[in-house]
Amino acid sequence: MESDIKSSSQSNHSQEQNLGSILSVRSSIIDIHFPKRLPYINSQLQTGKGGNLSIAVVSHLGAQVVRGVALAPTAGLTRGEIVIDTQQPLQVPVGDRLLGRMLNLFGEAIDEKEAIAGGEWRSIHATPIAMSERVTKAEILKTGIKAIDLLTPLERGGKTGLLGGAGVGKTVLITEMIHNMVKQHQGVSLFCGIGERCREGLDLYQEMAATGVLPNAVLVFGQMNEPPGVRFWVGHAALTMAEYFRDRSQKDVLLLIDNIFRFIQAGSEVSGLMGIIPSRVGYEPTLATELAQLEERICNTSAGAITSIQAVYVPADDFTDPSAVAVFSHLSAAIVLSRKRASEGLYPAVDLMESNSKMLMPHIVGDRHYQIAQAVRKTISTYEELKDIIAMLGLEELSPGDRQVVSQARRLERFLTQPFFSTAQFTGLTGKLVELDDALEGCERILNDEFADTPERSLYMIGSIDEVVKAPKEGKKS
């Protein structure tokens, strides 16, 4: 068994300590003089009372001076204060012992349970898997959620963007995906909160505990109030834990990141504090490189896969913003949540027209799936175009063909709703995990007008279409 990183650190210090002293402190940026030898890039340094303040080395300024980013508030630090080189990078614990726990960047428990000590620890800095070791075959990761599996299939080992404002069901959808990942794929879910509000993190933890998915999940947070260095590296810490589950435990991992924009924002803050001249719109010139170093670690191998779903904040809804452009270039699918659908009670509130996936191709999903998905999109798109006419003149003024399209579209919208396991305690409806074949069959039969006489409400919040086979007779009696 590998020794604890802390005891290893103490052992190194006792053999030969490499000591330096602080030259300057500018917010989170600290310049340090090391007369003996320079610490390596990414080395972890310690200073402050009891060595409670960690610093990550980011650059060498000269033969004896390094520049580092503080990973805790720097209030109280003074010039000349002693700094210890731990002679190793920042490391985090890995393994099954993390399941059900909530941690920070340093692998310290923040859930008021016992501390995590001993066992295996790994550096948060790792190079992406070589292309020769990746599994490049396009595979679909089924979520058990009809609207997603049908219209925006997720790539196993790929990255999916989750776009939506507050109150449209983002957290509920994330919780449901965690539940389904555990139930359907016997995998592990890892939630990484980057720049997350403390309140939102606590709400998610309590929801996961209440719905029973916490024992198969790990939560890692770099909170909004913490220095930019913490928010910048916490994503790498979460990925290190995920890579262990993929490579050593040979499990599929669902990595949820909320919010990837905060990672970019933290990098921009660090870059500005270091005096680097910004590029377009004030972002750091190394934006694309830093994001790629994180995103390219998310992939699938012969042992398992890391599939990521990332909440994406788009500044001022400007999709040409450099941060949005950089993120979208890595995504294989985008799930857009609609406030309008949420207001109509159509949950999950996935915007069926705006959401898209690169995996929705005939040679990947098959001809039948592709044709049904295209027919669903066309039907709903036509309905959207007719809504203004219906509002002004009424449904009766439409041609018989258009009325048929409206009938199909409204039934498709309701069929693509679904009760969730994560909301069962609030709605009283038992959650449903729907197979892709059942979703395809249901949409196909609705498009064939088999349920033209069935009340729309009979298709609302169900699983497979078989649940409404008797609905026409019941509708006639009512």
- Residues with catalytic annotation? 170, 196-197
Q: What is the DSSP letter of 429?
A: P
d(CA 438, CA 443): 9
* Beta pairing partners, 305: 300
Q: Which residue type, as a one-letter code, is found at position 140?
A: I
Q: What tokens were used for 475?
A: 């509708």
| SS3 at position 24 | strand
Distance separating alpha carbons of residues 205 and 247, to the nearest angstrom: 26
3-state secondary structure of 423: helix
**How far, CA to CA in Å, does 369 sit from each of 142, 332, 364, 376, 395?**
13, 18, 10, 11, 31
Q: What is the DSSP string of 314-351?
A: -GGG-TTSHHHHHHHTT-SEEEEB-HHHHHTT-SS-B-
The closest of 187, 158, 140 to 436, measured between CA atoms, is: 140
Beta carbons within 8 Å of 221's beta carbon, 6+ residues apart: 102, 103, 104, 110, 192, 193, 196, 201, 234
DSSP E strand boundaries for 132-235: 140-141, 154-155, 159-163, 188-196, 217-223
Buried b (16+ CB within 10 A) or exposed e, 106-129: bbebbeeeeebeebbbbbbbeebb
Sign of torsion over alpha carbons 293, 299, 301, 303: positive
Q: Are 440 and 371 in contact (CB under 8 A)?
A: no
CA 410 vs. chain centroid, Å, equals 31
Whether the bond between 42 and the residue before it is cis, its omega within 30 degrees of 0, is: no
